[in-house]
Amino acid sequence: MMHETEGSPVSLSPAENRSVATSAAVPPATESKASPKLAQASQATLPLIDSFGRVHRSLRISVTDRCNIRCQYCMPEVAQFMDSEKLLSFEEIAQFARISATLGIRKLRITGGEPLMRPELHRLLRMLCQIESLEGLALTTNGMLLAQQIDDLVAAGLRRVNISLDTLNEEVFRRLSRRSGLDQVLAGIEAAIAQPLLVVRLNALVMRDVNFDEVLDLVGFARERNLALRFIEFMPLDAERAWNRSQMVSGDEMRARIEGRFGKLVPAQIKDPAQPATDFAFANGSGLVGFIDSVTQPFCSACDRLRLTADGKLRNCLFGREEWDVREVLRSDAVRECQDAAAVEAVVRTCLRAKRAAHGIDAADFSPPVRAMFQIGG
Ligand code: SAM
Ligand code: SF4
C-alpha cells in the first residue's frame, strides 16, 4: 500500500504507518486554492522568529471549549462555555490559517475542548487541506465521537490523529473523566486503526493516585496494535487548580516502570527537533513509547508553536498570561474582504515578540494562566 510522507511517496504497511512517527502529508487540493487576493495582500517573507531565535512553524487551533467528558486534570464539573457568536467561524479560522501559512506556519493541529463536538468539523479540515504550503494537519481528540466521524474526516484530508486514552478500566474512566464512555473511546480507536491512510497515535495522562498502575497495561494495549503511545506529564492547567507535584508522575518514573516490564528502551530517531516528546523504541521488538515531560524537562528552547483559542485569541505559550485578539481583526471590514492580511500579520508578530524564553513553572513567581486547558486548547 502506498502512503505519502513529506516529499516522495514511500511504501509502508499500515502497521509501520502507525508505529513510525512520520509527518502526515496534506493531500493535494481538490477544490479551489487559497485566495489569490490574499496571496497578493501578504507578501511576507520574514519567517516567524521570536526574540530568542526560535522559528515558529506550528499552529494549534482550538475549535471549541465544549467537551463531552470532564477530565479532572482539565475541566471543572460545571463549566461556563463561550457564547457561540464568540467562536471563530470555519471561514475565519481558515482565513487566519492561510495568512499564517504565508508567514511560515507549516503544521496545524486541531484541538479543543473536544474538537469533534464542533458540528461538521470535516468542513473545516477540507478548507485547511487546501492550503498548499502546509506540511501537516493533525487532530487531537478524546475519541468519543471518532467512530461516527472518521470516514468524513479522512475523506476531508485528515491523515494524522492523536487519541487520548488514560485508562482501560471503565470505573477509572468514570473517576477520571466524571462521565462514562470508555467503550466509545475504544471503538473510536479501532475505527481509526481501520483507516489505512491514517497515522494513529495514543496520548495518556497519568495521575499518581488515579491511573499510575495502568501504565503497563496501556503500553501493552498500544504495542498489541502497533500504535505509538505518548505519556504526558500532568501540568498545572486544570480548571479546579488542584494540581500538585505529588499527583504528577514524571516521565522518568514511568519509563523506569516500563523498562522493568518490557525491557530496555532505546532512544528513537528524532524526526522533528521541535517535537515535545522524547520517543523510545523497545530493544526487544516493535513499538514506540514517548514522554512529554513538560514539567520535569521543559522543551521551551525548541518550542515552535502558536495557539489560537476557539474565541479567536492568539497565545504564544500554554502558560502565558497574555492573549492577542485575532477575532477583532478578522472581523474588521478590510480583513473580511481579504484586503488587509497585514493587519493580521501585525497581531501575529506582536504576539511572537512578547514570547518569553520559558514557561517558568518552577519560578518563584509562577502562577497558572487564567484559562484552563479546555479553554486554551491542548
Ligand atoms: N479533548 C481532546 C483530548 O482530550 O484529546 C483534545 C483537547 S485536550 C485539552 C488535549 C490534550 O491535553 C489531551 O491529550 C489531554 O490529556 C491534555 N491535557 C489536558 N489537561 C492537561 C493537563 N492539566 N496537563 C497536561 N496535559 C493535559
Ligand atoms: Fe475534554 Fe480533552 Fe479536557 Fe478531557 S482533556 S476534559 S477530553 S478537553
- Residue pLDDT, tens place only, 267-293: 998 888 888 899 999 998 889 999 999
Q: Which residue range forms the structural domain that includes residue 154?
A: 34-201+302-376
Q: For residue 43, tell me if it sits in a domain.
A: yes
Global pTM value: 0.89
Ligand 2 pocket: which of 109, 114, 206, 318 to mutate (most atoms <8 Å of CB)? 114
From CA 140, how far away is CA 130, in angstroms rounded? 20
Q: For residue 287, tell me if it sits in a domain.
A: no
Q: For residue 22, tell me if it sits in a domain.
A: no
Domain holding 64: CATH number? Answer: 3.20.20.70
Q: For residue 152, tell me if it sits in a domain.
A: yes
Please state at what angle helix 121-128 crosses helix 146-156, rounded to 10 degrees: 20
Beta strands in the chain (DSSP E): 2-4, 9-11, 58-62, 107-111, 136-141, 160-164, 199-205, 228-232, 265-267, 278-282, 285-292, 305-308, 313-315, 324-325
Question: How far does the centroid of ligand 2 lie from the alpha carbon of residue 142, in Å?
Answer: 7
Place of cell 513529506: 6
Place of cell 523506569: 256
Q: For residue 325, tell me if it sits in a domain.
A: yes
Residues 28/277, Cβ–Cβ less than 8 Å: no
> Relative to the alpha carbon of 249, which ligand is closest?
1
Residues 249/210, Cβ–Cβ less than 8 Å: no
Ligand 2 pocket: which of 373, 375, 376 to mutate (most atoms <8 Å of CB)? 373
Q: Which three cell numbers, joined as nine digits, stand for 58?
A: 506550528
- Residue pLDDT, tens place only, 31-63: 333 333 333 334 446 899 999 999 999 999 999
SS3 327: helix
- Residue pLDDT, tens place only, 166-207: 999 999 999 999 999 999 999 999 999 999 999 999 999 999
- Of ligand 2's listed atoms, the one at least distance from the Cα of 75 is 6
Q: For residue 234, tell me if it sits in a domain.
A: no
- Residue pLDDT, tens place only, 227-247: 999 999 999 999 999 999 999
- The CB density around residue 259, as the number of other CB atoms within 10 Å, is 15
Q: For residue 281, tell me if it sits in a domain.
A: no
What percent of the chain is predicted at pLDDT more than 70? Answer: 88
Question: How far does the centroid of ligand 1 lie from the alpha carbon of residue 15, in Å?
Answer: 26
Residues 137/159, Cβ–Cβ less than 8 Å: yes
User: What is the number of structural domains in the chain?
Assistant: 1
From CA 118, how far away is CA 121, in angstroms rounded? 6
Q: For residue 107, tell me if it sits in a domain.
A: yes
